[in-house]
Amino acid sequence: VTPQLRGFLGSVRRLRIPPAMIGLAVASIAVATLGVAGLEQATTVPNASAVYLVAVAIVGSIGGTLPAIATAIVSFLAYNLLFTEPRFSLVVADPTEWLNLVLFLVVAIAVGRLAALGRERAADRTGKGADVVRWAWGENDDRRRWNRGTSWTPRHGRGERN
């Protein structure tokens, strides 16, 4: 193992991405790669890189922003390495392929971030829902905390205007 690779692996460990999330990202990229290969060989679709967006969205919705961005970058590199001319090289001969690759990377990062944001908002709603249930059953002594900033606060188990 070279010192550069050892340093890179150390920096990846410091990001604290769970091993299960790395496994999900690798599996989703592998499945997407098979899908792209199948589509480009079986049909006349010249650029099926959008299949990788599904992998990025899945990882982003489960793991959050950082795993989604990592998946987008690895997908970008995989598509460039396996499906652009010259193959098995990170060199891109056609300038239009550069445009496609850069646009794919930007869209993939945006999709990953949006999927992660949806996950975060769903988690926030779940937390608020639990607060509502606790308030409705009278388990929360500080009932004004839930309605902070509004003119409508519950008193004596029913809503009244301040």
pLDDT tens per residue across all 162 residues of the chain: 678 777 766 766 676 778 888 899 999 999 999 999 999 999 988 889 899 999 999 998 888 888 888 899 899 899 989 998 888 888 888 888 888 888 888 998 898 888 888 888 887 777 665 565 555 555 554 545 555 555 555 555 555 554
Q: Which two tokens stand for residue 7?
A: 């340093």
Distances (CA, A) of 114 to 33, 111, 138: 22, 5, 36
Q: Are 70 and 46 in contact (CB under 8 A)?
A: no
Q: Are 68 and 17 in contact (CB under 8 A)?
A: no
141 CB contacts (<8 Å, ≥6 apart)?
A: none
Q: Omega of the bond prior to 86 within 30 degrees of 0, cis?
A: yes
